[in-house]
Amino acid sequence: MEEKKKISMAVIRRLPRYYRYLSDLIDNEITRISSKELAKKMGITASQIRQDLNCFGGFGQQGYGYNVHSLFTEIGRILGTENNFKIVIIGAGRLGRALAHYPNFIKRGYEIIGIFDISPAIIGSIINGIEVMHLDDLKFFVKANKTDIAVLTVPSTSIREVVNTVCEAGVKGIWNFSPRELNLSSETVVENVHLSDSLMVLGYNLLQNDKAL
């Protein structure tokens, strides 16, 4: 491990954006693109693109540019789209239910295999073809089914307990939608989604625009 040069998270965080743009190009039946053209579409510089993709060995060919389909497949592979990651959703409230129908899970190669809650009113109900189970059954479920990721849509008040349960059960990654930021010291990978951060940046930019007008 750590044989290869560590790639910065800033570069990694840009990869899904390339992936989205390449997906659009494929939808528009574009098979080949220069870094210059792609840069123009994405509002970044061609040298940024070349620099980013060089971290993974390049992919482009001098005088040809990028083969859209190969680049799309390669970036997908780097990001794990071919790994068929298995997901459970913890918290079958409104957001949990919306995520259970999230089309990009399937498009990005992920599969929802279980939904968990603690409310007797919700347990046993069917969401997108999946029966909601009690959180107490998570540990057994994870043992019986390869489970890579737990999506957490639980209130702040119960987040600590749920995280403990999820980690004990052996889930390897957490996609956290609860307001509290998780910084786990354990081997569990965490990705926090803070929608309100994005909302507040929008608020800031609105204020700036108002001042400028």
Q: Which residues bind a second copy (CB under 8 A)?
A: 1-2, 9, 12-13, 15-17, 19-20, 24, 43, 78-81, 83, 85, 93-95, 97-98, 101-102, 104-105, 107-108, 110, 148-149, 172-173, 175, 179-181, 183, 187, 189, 191, 193-207, 209-213
Nearer to a second copy, 48 or 81 (CB): 81
- Determine the Cα–Cα distance for residues 125 and 122; give it in Å rounded to an integer: 6
Residue 201 amino acid letter: V
Residue 145 CB, shortest distance to a second copy, in Å, is 16
Output 130 or 137, the one with its CB closest to a second copy: 130
Q: Phi/psi of residue 190, each to 5°? A: -125, 135
Torsion angle in degrees (nearest 10) through CA of 172, 176, 182, 185 = 10
| C-alpha dihedral (100, 115, 145, 183), degrees to nearest 10 | 90
Identify which of residues 20 and 69 has a Cβ nearer to a second copy in the complex: 20
CB of 127 to a second copy, least distance (A): 10
Least gap, CB of 144 to a second copy (angstroms): 20
- What is the rounded CA–CA span in Å between residue 198 and residue 213? 23
213: enclosing H helix or E strand: none
Shortest reach from residue 52's CB to a second copy, in Å? 14
